[in-house]
Structure 1
Amino acid sequence: MMNEPVITVIGSINMDLVTESDMRPKAGETLLGSHFSMIPGGKGANQAVAAARLGAKVNMIGCVGDDLFGEQLTANLKKEGIAADYVEPVTHQQTGIAAITLAEGDNSIIVVPGANHDLSADHISKFEALIAESDVVLLQLEIPLEAVVKAAELAKKHRVKVVLNPAPIQGLPDQLINSADLITPNEHEYDQLKRDYQGDLQVLKNKLVVTKGGAGTAIFKNGKETIVPGYAISVVDTTGAGDAFNGALAVQVAKGASLEEACRSANAVGALAVTKLGAQSGMPTADEVEAFLKKGV
């Protein structure tokens, strides 16, 4: 039996404050909402939960505030079976939050990073041994870029695969692009990456996995685009669908799956994630994914 894959996720940990309403308020307008929830979130934590529920051994590196949200979020990671001893409380910052409005069939999000922005390159360096023992390091951009660059650099040094989810999108230094094995933008992020990148576009494309929602995923072989189809499914909440995809992709890469096979499985995980409310609460288990794929939806 194959050992469980080891994924180290380095990224954000937030409390999602979710308001549901039929419509979004216009500037200066007040509307009555239908429901409010506080749900553990943050792209890093979401992706860690996604990978853990799929059977991976997951380490989480990040920062929270020394406050109630920080305690709750760390406890939640541990409840999910994630090694959270590498999550550091920061006394002078509040835990990050995301204010999410669910309305008109989609979401709008404002993120206040808080303690997530205290995660530094020096902090990452303390965990070099942990990174070296991983099969995949999974990164996003809700933490300082210097920390992301350092994590990718250490992973490359130890020949550990790097999956980079470039969200929220920003200019990426060549060093980071060169260190990443796979870069997973959505269509909007892909367009900006192409505009910003000054190097050989062919080199960039061969690292890309472009998510297209229900339409599936685009991958590139020698510059030629191939679409791995998505799945038609009833949508409840799109929050966290991309994180579900990235967590699943990291697990499949760690298992040695081909890129097409990895994307097919990750597309299924992303599809299942939108059938439930909340990012982490919607992450499916390995058994649920296997059953879904057997149906051939």
Structure 2
Amino acid sequence: MIEVLTIGRVGVDIYPREVGSRLEDVETFGKFLGGSATNVAVAAARLGKRAAVITRTGNDPFGRFVHRALRDFGVDDEWVVAVPDLPTPVTFCEIFPPDEFPLYFYRLPIAPDLCIEPAEIPADVVRAVPIYWSTLTGLSRQPSRDAHRHAWEVRRRTDHTVIDLDYRPMFWDDVSDARAAAGEALSHCTIAIGNRDECEVAVGERDPERAAAALLDRGVRIAVVKQGPRGVLVRTDRESEVIPAVSVDVVNGLGAGDAFGGAFCASLLDGLPVVDAVRRANAAGAMVAARLECSAAMPTSAELDAFVEDAGGRR
């Protein structure tokens, strides 16, 4: 049985091997599986969970690479379907630690992962899976928007239904469209995760406490607000706690949020209390921030256990 099912972005990350260089000067790149929802599935699978992703690729060599990489990471690719006339997206980045990692998305005329049709949603799996994870980006275009709506209708706000408030302005015509989509998503989900900027888009609040309160007012049961070096706020109707940031030498911060997501899912499946699940997820994010890759950098359970024990929180 699938334990973590994600839906959304997939692609191929083309990341420079040369840290601190602009793309026009880079001569050596690495090729990695990418896309936020896909990375979350990979992160959960690396931690021993049965994970799958609903997405679409092009019918091209990069699409074949996506299937092979998913299988190599232990992620079920049954619901990864090719779109005949569109290319598999590629994403380039520049790496300037500790906090400058500009992304360049090549997803035109439309990314295949925004062409997921409602009929492609495996309703029985969506209904039964312990954790169902979607992202705000999936609501930015049709037919993906209707596919997400259909999945939520099937699921009926069952725990744990997660919305990653993953807001990237280049995917939207206007921020007001993203705000409306976030409001719709929150009405279907039980867990919301986002950074301060994303919370401001979703609920109009940047202050972590007010943002978390606003998310709970929208009906979610767990609100997670990431604050960068100030840590992570997790709030439910019973508790509120800030988990301190873990100190690492940052190499590439782009995969940290997806590592956080996969580890959070795995920790909930392991029965950890919510605050402890966020604490472990925070450590996984720190581990990946100290590595170059995203999907290929996701820690195994043994690696994460050793890091947590050795770091002692490394606050």
- Give the equivalent residue in structure 2 for 1:28: none
Structure 1 residues without counterparts, runs of 5 or longer:
26-30
- Give the equivalent residue in structure 1 for 2:193: 184
Matches within 5 A, 1:93-108: 93-105=86-98, 106-108=100-102
Deviation of 1:252 (Å): 1.8
Deviation of 1:23 (Å): 5.0
Structure 2 CA distance for aligned equivalents of residues 183 and 15 of structure 1: 26
Matches within 5 A, 1:136-175: 136-143=131-138, 144-156=144-156, 159-168=158-167, 170-171=178-179, 172=181, 174-175=183-184
Encode CA deviations 1:172-217: one digit per residue, 9 max, x unaligned: 2544212211110112111222229xxx935137542011234321
Structure 2 CA distance for aligned equivalents of residues 249 and 218 of structure 1: 14
Structure 2 residues without counterparts, runs of 5 or longer:
139-143, 169-177, 206-212
C-alpha contact 2:79 2:120 (8 A) present in aligned 1:
no
C-alpha contact 1:155 1:161 (8 A) present in aligned 2:
no
What is the one-letter code of the residue matched to 1:183? A
Aligned-residue sequence identity (percent) comes to 23
Structure 1 CA distance for aligned equivalents of residues 154 and 105 of structure 2: 28
Deviation of 1:257 (Å): 2.2
Which structure shows the bigger proportion of residues in helix conformation?
2
Within the candidate set 62, 68, 72, 2:55 is matched to: 62
C-alpha contact 1:132 1:160 (8 A) present in aligned 2:
no
1:254 maps to 2:269 = yes
Matches within 5 A, 1:47-58: 47-58=40-51
Q: Which moved more, 1:266-275 or 1:147-156?
A: 147-156
What is the one-letter code of the residue matched to 1:131? V
What is the one-letter code of the residue matched to 1:153? E
Residues 1:242 and 1:56: Cα distance change in structure 2 (over 3 Å): same
TM-score, normalised via structure 2 length: 0.82
- Give the equivalent residue in structure 1 for 2:217: 203
Structure 2 CA distance for aligned equivalents of residues 175 and 142 of structure 1: 13
- Give the equivalent residue in structure 2 for 1:17: 14
1:193 maps to 2:202 = yes
Within the candidate set 215, 224, 227, 2:230 is matched to: 215
Q: Which moved more, 1:47-56 or 1:206-215?
A: 206-215
Structure 2 CA distance for aligned equivalents of residues 149 and 226 of structure 1: 32
Encode CA deviations 1:93-142: one digit per residue, 9 max, x unaligned: 11122121223542111223321111122322xx0112123110111133
TM-score, normalised via structure 1 length: 0.87
Structure 2 CA distance for aligned equivalents of residues 40 and 280 of structure 1: 6
Matches within 5 A, 1:31-46: 31-33=24-26, 35-46=28-39
Structure 2 CA distance for aligned equivalents of residues 187 and 17 of structure 1: 27
Residues 1:244 and 1:104: Cα distance change in structure 2 (over 3 Å): closer
C-alpha contact 1:237 1:274 (8 A) present in aligned 2:
yes
Structure 1 CA distance for aligned equivalents of residues 120 and 265 of structure 2: 23
* Partner secondary structure for residue 92 of structure 2: strand
What is the one-letter code of the residue matched to 1:151? A
Within the candidate set 118, 121, 124, 1:121 is matched to: 118
Runs of 4+ in 1 over 6 A off after TM superposition: none
Residues 1:156 and 1:59: Cα distance change in structure 2 (over 3 Å): same
What is the one-letter code of the residue matched to 2:254? T
Deviation of 1:260 (Å): 0.2
